[in-house]
Structure 1
Amino acid sequence: MIFRWFESLIDAFKEPVDAMPPASVGRFYLFYLRQVWPVLAATLVVGFGVAVVEVSLFGFIGSIVDMTHGVPGAAFFREHGRVLLWMALVALVARPLLNGLHDLLVNQAIVPSLTGRIRWQNHRYVIRQSLGFFQNDYAGRIANRIMQTGASLRESAVQIVDAIWYVLIYTGSAIVMFAHADGWLALPLLAWIVAYVATLVYFIPRTKARSWQASEARSKLMGRIVDGYSNILTLKLFAHTRREEAYVAEAMGEQVDKTRRMTRMTTAMDVTITTLNGFLIVGTSGLALWLWSQGRVTVGAIALATGLVIRINNMSGWIMWVVNGIFENVGTVQDGLTTIARPRTVQDRPDAVPLVVTRGDVRFEGIHFHYGRLMPRVGDAGAPGAERALEVAVPDPSEPGPDGRRTRRAGTAQEGALPASQPRGVIAGLDLHVRPGEKIGLVGPSGAGKTTLVNVLLRLYDLEGGRILIDGQDIARVTQDSLRSQIGVVTQDTSLLHRSIRDNILYGRPDASEAALLEAVRKARADEFIPQLVDGEGRTGFDALVGERGVKLSGGQRQRIAIARVLLKDAPILVLDEATSALDSEAEAAIQDSLDVLMQGKTVIAIAHRLSTIARMDRLVVMDRGRIVESGTHAELLARDGLYARLWRRQTGGFVAVDDQSPA
């Protein structure tokens, strides 16, 4: 019961404020620690009591030695019984009670729950980052920084709370006790404190810097290892095990080298502190003996001074490692900030409202987009009239970016307008109207901007100019969740969550009934293989796990699960990116009827390459280099003998002469 009470003091899953965590180390610490300040304050108070009790025990040792001087053994307990009883109560009751309370606060309240809260809130913030955020980093490195930042922040905070009173109480009380016995006895300790602080001032900043470098190298190594594991099939298919080993070995070598540089500072600091401690023990003990020989201090003072400096010697080593650990953890937190404390490039406006789709009318009005970096300067990305600075990757003799390319600022632009210096983008000035219930096919060579058009419709990226309207509502003014909940998507590269078949399908509509689930599976023709599935732990059918990204299923099986998921979602707008591309001809024919049912009454935008998809579209829109170059039915476009006709001949003829190829 007592454990549960302490464990309930901090709620690990407290709903966080949905804002970017502070980018500076100090404010980052304050942001999380002030959420649990009552528990930290209680730990600080209890830590004070623990330190006082520990110091008082050494004072008792000196008192016992003095009490035994000149007192007959038979009368000792009679004369000093009360003092001895008080000493026993401190040692047997106060000390265990305070230490136990300290351990409950740290081990039950702070360690699991504060660590969990920091990780949870960091995860909540990072998972809402844009798609580009995750595409520009290793998934393993992001996860590693989320995990280690919470633990390091909590550990350093607890170490600081524990160290404060030990340093102040031990050194302060020792100086007072020594000065009370004889003022000269405090001189070695004062000199030691000055040298000890100077040592820490010299070594700690250097240790912190090297710790940050070692943490950064560790995150890089983790990212490369996880990247290889995530793409193990590619690694094996191309027989590049040795190459992958070298790739990881390079990062591991860097991590080992930077860790060695950090531990060199640690070793040097340890040797320096140990040497100083030797001078403290010899100086204090020798001076105490000389003062006793001069009759200026008692034997109890010798016992007190010698015992206390030995305790301070042990404590100084502990403090050294604590302080070193604090700054090592601070370096780890500093490394984590490079991933966690970054602004989101795609955000909901403060006044964003849920999207309401009644008809499914989609309009693209003069949209501009390229895959540069869009940095909001003031206001909100997507706010009308907001001045925004566009930073694009173009040649410039200024500073190089992390990928080796040089960037420059291309100036500012008003919302809906593109600056004159803006380089040509992936999509430039595109207008397209998809009427309610219309089914259009996007056709064009690779790199024409088809997938990009779908990405900006889903607002995975924000536009640089123009706007997209759904039933007259600007998607920049609605919440992202409501927008994506109204659009069903089946992509060409289908990846599933490493969960059960049931969980993956219910991702389309978590509150769906069992009957609705089974109906979606039947329509997707996935009922033919799901009952036969068995995973490595013996789970079968809907309970079988699919493996990371669905690797335990064939491409066709993954696609049918994805289609069942979208069927269950039943969104009014449907996006198909070659939804049957992973299926063989027989499976494709079997599922086309289900797709026809799925498309009924919906606005459909399909990225089309295969003839079977093209034949089912009301209208074809041909794109090239981010622009619409042709539009019409299949027959109209063939008669026009333009880009679409050339693409059609290429697909049906199997070979096209070099002079007949369109630029990609």
Structure 2
Amino acid sequence: MTSSHPFQRLLRYGRRYRRQVWLASLCSVFNKFFDLAPPVLIGLAVDVVVQQQDSWIASWGIASVRGQFLVLTALTIVTWGLESAFQYAYSVLWRNLAQTMQRDLRIEAYSHLQDMDLAYFEDHSTGGLMAVLNDDINQLERFLDVGANEVLQVITTIILVGGAFLFLAPSVAWMAIIPMPFIVWGAIAFQKLLAPRYATVRERVSALNSRLSNNLSGILTIKSFTAEGYEIERIREDSEAYRVSNQRAIAFSAAYIPLIRVLILLGFTATLVFGGLMAVEGELAVGTYSVLVFLTQRLLWPLTRLGDTLDQYQRAMASTNRVMDLLDLPITLHPGHQRLPVSNVKGAVRFEDVTFGYGDRRPVLQNLTLKIPAGHTVAIVGATGSGKSTLVKLLLRLYEVNAGRITLDGLDIRDLATQDLRQAIGLVSQDVFLFHGTVAENIAYGTFDASREAIIQAARTAEADEFIQQLPQGYDTIVGERGQKLSGGQRQRLAIARAILKNPPILVLDEATSAVDNETEAAIQRSLEHITQDRTTIAIAHRLSTIRNADRIYVMAQGQLVEWGTHEELIERDDLYAGLWRVQMGLKAG
């Protein structure tokens, strides 16, 4: 993380939008320039009425009063026209810039998240990350949409009006300008008070989003344990914490405008009274006095909006910090650069003296060496927690090994382009994830250019076509979020069809039949017999009956290999595997 101010971090990120920022800023400045012109035009009109042939416009060579008013009319039309044109321009430019930056920032933040290893997602809630990707980036967009223009226009007003005062009546200028240092000091003081309060607001909304996301994902558990009341209370507590944190911020931000109004009143009254006395005594032209009175109001009253702008600014800066902190997270899994096209992959995998542990916990794998010849089917079995699934995560480089190395066709997988490595591996997991979309879209996920015929053929090979045809819209049936409209066995068969369509040289089956009934298991086994031919297959299994025909079976215990051989060899050895086999056969027999 960096200690830079969030605004500096935002400026560094925004360098790529320099041209749009300059154009939008110029339009904001010119709009304010012409917006401040009407008080000057009013002063000129008063000057014409009072001075007539001796007015300032008369000095241009226009002696008649009628002609002078015609000139004023033309200037008014041009001024209002240009003000409107620049207002339209800055509105379009700032809003488009805000939308573009919002889109790019969200895509970049999401892309960065995708490059993080799985350990990061295990340590951070989905709801919290969603709050950053959605709410925080939207908050930044809202500030760029309106707040940036407000800041520029306030600065422009101060410069133009302050300059006009010093030029027209230096002796009166101080009366209007004297409140401004106090207003600026108040703005800075409020900023310091608001910053930590809005940081707390962002934390509270992140916690609330996390809770909501978690609960919606676990709605079945909530209902089955009749925990609705308990969860409502927890949502109420998080919502109350969010409300209270907002309330504390509002208490300070709401006090800004009333306090500023007092200072504005002093400046306006001083200009009105002392400037008026000077005009009566002839020390100040009546037209100039009119300009000063109107400009004082135009100078000071817009500062009341500075409170809202500061409010938006502080919210945006709190959000900016969270988004930039996400973008600044170091990527621990660096992709390799050596290309290995799928067509060139033979599928020989080797774990060489691999040691790995999750975070600070004790190693799950210790000095493990395991060889998987190309085109062979090997099975890995063992008790829960023995490290079986960890092997798959390491092979896919979802985590980095602590020691040792893993090779594919003799090449260290850390040197291979990550996309090439994962393209060569087809994973069928026990925890099948289906996206909200059609059956066909889920089968073709990862093979997005697949034809309809190829999708159907993959489903037939996976013995999924029959149940798909019975769905309401067949292959165009929406499966629901995470595939909730389908049974576990149906989801599993779609996952196998997805792997078949990918046609990888290495197939990994991670407990692919652990959560299905016997009939579905038999169907899956038949489809697997077809797809495991002529490719390297790694089957991690709990049901030993599903892997008895493997070329070699590895037995793991406490992160190490303790046995290996064919099914018959291991039964004859009468050790750990044989014991597991008897237990499972006994359960089935009983």
The normalised TM-score by structure 2 is 0.92
Residue 78 of structure 1 is matched in structure 2 by 67
Residue 353 of structure 1 pairs with residue 335 of structure 2:
no
1:287 is aligned, of 271, 274, 299, to 274
2:347·2:375 contact (CA, 8 Å) conserved in 1? yes
Q: Deviations over 1:440-473 (max 9, x none)?
A: 2111111000000111011110001000111101
- Matching residue of 1:3: none
Deviations 1:3-46 (A, max 9, x none): xxxxxxxxxxxxxxxxx999873453134321111111111112
Q: What's 2:508 paired with?
A: 575
Within-5 A mapping of 1:282-431: 282-349=269-336, 351-354=337-340, 357-372=344-359, 392=360, 424-431=362-369
> Are positions 1:239 and 2:239 aligned together?
no
3-state SS, counterpart of residue 529 of structure 1: helix
1:87 aligns with 2:76: yes
Please, which of 630, 639, 645 is the counterpart of residue 578 of structure 2? 645
* Correspondent of 1:465 among 388, 394, 403: 403
Note if contact 1:355-1:479 (Cα within 8 Å) is conserved in structure 2: no
**For 1:241 and 1:79, how far apart are their aligned partners in 2?**
77
CA shift at 1:114, angstroms? 2.5
Distance in 2 (alpha carbons) for counterparts of 1:122 and 1:137 = 15
**Which secondary structure does the structure 1 equivalent of 2:460 belong to?**
helix
Q: Do the aligned partners of 2:549 and 2:567 also contact (CA within 8 Å) in 1?
A: no
CA distance in 1, matches of 2:529, 2:79: 82
Matched residue, 2:249? 262
Distance in 1 between the 2:163 and 2:17 partners? 35
Q: Distance in 2 between matches of 1:319 and 1:226?
A: 36
Q: Is 1:96 matched with 2:84?
A: yes
1:137 is aligned to 2:124 = yes
Q: How far apart are residue 555 of structure 1 and its match? A: 0.6
User: SS state of the match for residue 350, structure 2?
Assistant: strand
- Aligned equivalent of 2:32, options 51, 54, 59: 51
Q: How far is the alpha carbon of 1:282 from its aligned partner?
A: 2.0
Change (3 A) 1:448 1:631: same
Q: Report the Cα distance in structure 2 between the residues aligned to 1:429 and 1:26, rounded to whole angstroms.
A: 49
Tell me the distance in 2 between the aligned counterparts of 1:67 and 1:618: 104
Q: Distance in 2 between matches of 1:333 and 1:465?
A: 38
Cα 1:599–1:24 shift into 2, 3 Å: farther
C-alpha distance in 1 between matches for 2:167 and 2:324: 49
Amino acid at match of 1:645: A
Residue of structure 2 equivalent to 1:543: 476
Question: CA 1:22–1:566 in structure 2 vs 1: closer, same or farther (change >3 Å)?
Answer: farther
- The 5 Å alignment of 1:20-169 reads 25-26=6-7, 28-71=9-52, 76-91=65-80, 93-107=81-95, 109-157=96-144, 159=146, 161-169=148-156
Larger mean CA deviation between 497-506 and 250-259 belongs to: 250-259
CA distance in structure 2 between the aligned counterparts of 1:47 and 1:115, rounded to whole angstroms: 21
Q: Is the 8 A contact 1:152 1:330 kept in 2?
A: no
CA distance in 1, matches of 2:327, 2:228: 32
Q: Tell me, in whole angstroms, the C-alpha distance in 2 between the residues paired with 1:582 and 1:218.
A: 37
Distance 1:79 1:443 in 2: 98
Cα RMSD (Å):
2.3
Contact 2:350 2:408 in 1 (8 A): yes
d(CA) in 1 for partners of 2:347, 2:5? 45
Q: Structure 2: how far apart are the matches of 1:580 and 1:159?
A: 56
Deviation at 1:49, TM superposition (A): 1.1
Q: Is the 8 A contact 2:45 2:69 kept in 1?
A: no
1:205 corresponds to:
192
Give the 3 Å change call, closer, same or farther, for CA 355–250 of structure 1 in structure 2.
Answer: farther
Instruction: Tell me the SS of whatever aligns to 2:378.
Output: strand
Q: Is the 8 A contact 1:355 1:473 kept in 2?
A: no
> For residues 21 and 333 of structure 2, what CA distance do their matches in structure 1 show?
36
Give the SS at the match of 1:179: helix
> Residue type matched to 1:343 in 2?
P
Q: Which residue of 595, 600, 606 corresponds with 2:539?
A: 606
Change (3 A) 1:158 1:517: closer
Amino acid at match of 1:302: Y
Which amino acid letter does the alignment assign opposite residue 61 of structure 1? I
Q: Following the alignment from structure 2 to structure 1, what is the Cα–Cα distance between the partners of residues 368 and 3?
A: 39
2:88 aligned partner, one-letter code: G
Cα separation, 2, equivalents of 1:253 and 1:161: 31
Distance 1:282 1:531 in 2: 82
Scaled by the length of structure 1, the TM-score of the pair is: 0.82
Give the unaligned 5+ runs of structure 1: 1-19, 373-391, 394-423, 535-539, 656-664
In 1, Cα distance between equivalents of 2:461 and 2:538: 21
Question: Retained in 1: the 8 A contact 2:445–2:498?
Answer: yes
Q: How many residue pairs were aligned?
A: 578
Among 613, 616, 636, the residue aligned to 2:549: 616
* Cα gap change, 1:459 to 1:33, in 2 (>3 Å): same
- Larger deviation: 320-329 or 452-461? 320-329
Distance 1:110 1:364, change over 3 A: same
Counterpart-to-counterpart distance in 1, 2:12 and 2:365: 41
Deviations 1:225-284 (A, max 9, x none): 111112211221221112212222232222112111111110222222122222222222
Q: 8 Å contact 1:22–1:31 — kept in the other structure?
A: no
Change (3 A) 1:298 1:37: same
In 2 relative to 1, CA 175–428 (structure 1 residues): closer, same or farther, beyond 3 Å?
same
Cα distance, 1:624 vs structure 2: 0.9
Trace 1:481-630 onto structure 2 (pairs within 5 A).
481-534=419-472, 540-630=473-563
Matches within 5 A, 1:430-449: 430-449=368-387
CA gap 1:358/1:47 in 2 versus in 1, 3 angstroms: closer
Q: Matched residues in 1 for 2:248 and 2:298: separation?
A: 31
CA contact (8 A) 1:119 1:149 kept: no
Contact 1:51 1:170 in 2 (8 A): yes
Q: Deviation at 1:70?
A: 4.9
How far off is 1:97 after superposition? 1.8
| Mapped partners of 1:309, 1:27: distance in 2 | 33
Mapped contact 2:109–2:323 kept (Cα < 8 A): no
Moved more, 547-556 or 327-336: 327-336
Distance in structure 2 (CA, Å) of the matches to 1:188 and 1:302: 13
Letter in 2 for 1:104: V
Letter in 1 for 2:278: L
Counterpart of 2:57 in structure 1 is none
How many Å apart are 1:48 and its aligned residue?
1.8
CA distance in 2, matches of 1:556, 1:28: 49
d(CA) in 1 for partners of 2:26, 2:68: 35
CA contact (8 A) 1:22 1:341 kept: no
Q: Is the 8 A contact 2:395 2:406 kept in 1?
A: yes
CA drift at 1:75: 5.2
Q: Is the 8 A contact 1:221 1:251 kept in 2?
A: yes
From the superposition, tell whether residues 22 and 543 of structure 1 become closer, same or farther in structure 2 (CA, over 3 Å): farther
What percent identity do the matched residue pairs reach?
A: 31
How far apart, in 2, do the equivalents of 1:268 and 1:120 lie?
Answer: 38
